[in-house]
Structure 1
């Protein structure tokens, strides 16, 4: 399944519902409300941990709260790979022309009605290019936020990754991942990525990348 590529005037932007930001990030990345469903992500959770009475990959309340393993498996089912970006590297090493998009994981406050509670949660955000310009498709935004040119995107990513609590994932088709052509120079990145060629999605745990799996 290929990602849709609409014009910047008609970008599909899914808004936040419950704890479904992983679903929103995927659908915003693929530019279709039908790209993935909650039922499909729940099924992936079950397949990842079929023996667990309380599934570790989603909210026990059934509200969403999917972890990185679910997102990786969902992308793999459509012929895409997702690789963790080592923030010790400068994003200028990325070959943006071969990258389908990005998913950013950030901390966020937990709110109940108008009250902000002292609980830290996690949030998934997709970033994509339309007509040569990059947009932030955060489901908490009212509308997609223009980031700008490739240089503006790199500066945006640098700023985000200055925080130790934020993580970036690079999304690409499988052939690009296998050839490592998402990088300008492959030799500078060997053995410093979550490699889904050699590891199944269910084996790539949040603990590998120091992420907290809860989100909002």
Structure 2
């Protein structure tokens, strides 16, 4: 009889939620370190006094560029999900996990400061169930099965301040397999019909997976705009195993 799998869950330290989200995503301690994420910041913006990809004090608060670069080192890609679309179009079998970006209050000790920060949260499947692995939680929060996850994502994306990224392997991203193919085909057909007739395309359909972060007019200097998308972590772990 096999023992129940232990869920790895890093808890919040300083402003390192992005680091915790990445390690919780891959379910391994030390998959990434603060030193490694700081090195990515330096590569992204070398020879600068104040690095725009992290906290001015160097305590964390990493932006989406750092998370994407870190995922790419493991053979994964982060795909932005258009919240106007129905999460039901996601093909969960080809998705490693999700990274949700939410607003967060900032505390100094027990004092609440009038600052708004952004917080990274990992959601992924473990032994058939999906869990919220928010580093601010005392323990992993059970979401449930696939239908429960879709309902949960719909509820979260009703907020204008929350954004979702889907994490997938590079192959899945290249072949556009992170959403159901019938949705992609219907969306393509609708686009063709719209081009021929001048009709409006229904916004409730799924966009092509090509609609990623790079396609947005994304202001990476605005730390309040940080977001991330995730897909099948199991696939990602197979692509790049932690050497730490």
State the TM-score, normalized to the length of structure 1. 0.87
Residue 126 of structure 2 is matched in structure 1 by 130
1:212 matched to 2:229? The reply is no
Residue deviations 1:119-155, cap 9 Å, x none? 1111000001011110000000000000001111111
1:117 matched to 2:113? The reply is yes
Greater CA radius of gyration, 1 or 2?
A: 2
Matches within 5 A, 1:1-216: 9-184=5-180, 185-187=183-185, 188=187, 189-190=207-208, 193-194=211-212, 206-207=218-219, 212=224
Q: Which runs of 5+ in 1 are unaligned?
A: 1-6
- Following superposition, the deviation at residue 52 of structure 1 comes to 2.1
**Higher deviation after alignment, 168-177 or 108-117:** 108-117
Q: Let me know the Cα RMSD of the aligned residues.
A: 2.2
- Structure 1 Cα separation of the partners of residues 15 and 217 of structure 2: 20
- Structure 1 Cα separation of the partners of residues 4 and 130 of structure 2: 10
Residue deviations 1:97-124, cap 9 Å, x none? 0000000000011112222222111100
Residue 239 of structure 2 is matched in structure 1 by none
8 Å contact from structure 2 (residues 132, 140) kept in 1: yes
- Structure 1 Cα separation of the partners of residues 38 and 170 of structure 2: 23
Change (3 A) 1:148 1:28: same
How many residue pairs are counted as aligned between the two chains?
Answer: 202
- Following superposition, the deviation at residue 186 of structure 1 comes to 2.5
State the TM-score, normalized to the length of structure 2. 0.77
- Structure 1 Cα separation of the partners of residues 18 and 225 of structure 2: 11
8 Å contact from structure 2 (residues 101, 226) kept in 1: no
Residue deviations 1:16-36, cap 9 Å, x none? 000000000000000111210
- Following superposition, the deviation at residue 60 of structure 1 comes to 1.6
8 Å contact from structure 1 (residues 65, 214) kept in 2: no
- Structure 2 Cα separation of the partners of residues 150 and 120 of structure 1: 32
Change (3 A) 1:149 1:211: farther
8 Å contact from structure 1 (residues 69, 205) kept in 2: no
- Structure 2 Cα separation of the partners of residues 68 and 205 of structure 1: 14
8 Å contact from structure 1 (residues 121, 214) kept in 2: no
- Structure 2 Cα separation of the partners of residues 8 and 170 of structure 1: 27
